[in-house]
């Protein structure tokens, strides 16, 4: 809702920034780092990310909505796993060279 930031790189930038904003949080970063080691149920994540359960759930929701993680219920528990393209999308979201550029002489 703020002022748009450009015209050419803004379209790609907006999506990229949205993704980066998701990972640029201590709780969510820790969760993702943990999930890179393999799937995990919430109760397991909770042992390694010391925050209240409901708060963890809030952050998991953001990760879910960003498409960075997937869930699957297993009996009483819910397993979270990294989305297949999660790391690829994150790396692709970092700023990179758009086109040739020149400096004012």
Instruction: Answer yes or no whether residue 78 interacts with DNA by CB under 7 A.
Output: yes
Question: CA 53 to CA 46: how far, in whole Å?
Answer: 7
Q: Which parts of this chain interact with its own copies (CB under 8 A)?
A: 2-6, 8-10, 13-14, 16-17, 20-21, 23-27, 29-30, 32-34, 36-41, 43-44, 47-51, 77, 79, 87, 90-91, 94-104
What ranges make up the beta strands (E) of the chain? 40-41, 69-74, 77-82
Furthest CA-CA distance within the chain:
66
Taking the complex as a whole, the smallest distance from the CB of residue 33 to its own copies amounts, in Å, to: 4
Per-residue contact flags (x/-) with DNA for residues 18 to 57, judged by CB under 7 A: ---x---xxx-------------xxx--x----xxxxxxx
């Amino acid at each position: 809702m703020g002022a748009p930031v450009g015209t050419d790189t803004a379209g790609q930038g907006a999506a990229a920034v949205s993704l980066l904003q998701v990972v640029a949080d201590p709780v969510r970063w820790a969760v993702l780092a943990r999930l890179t080691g393999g799937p995990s149920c919430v109760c397991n994540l909770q042992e390694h990310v010391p925050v209240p359960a409901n708060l963890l759930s809030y952050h998991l929701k953001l990760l879910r909505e960003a498409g960075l993680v997937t869930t699957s219920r297993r009996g009483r528990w819910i397993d979270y796993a990294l989305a297949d393209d999660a790391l690829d999308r994150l790396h692709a979201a970092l700023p990179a060279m758009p086109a040739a550029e020149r400096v004012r002489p």
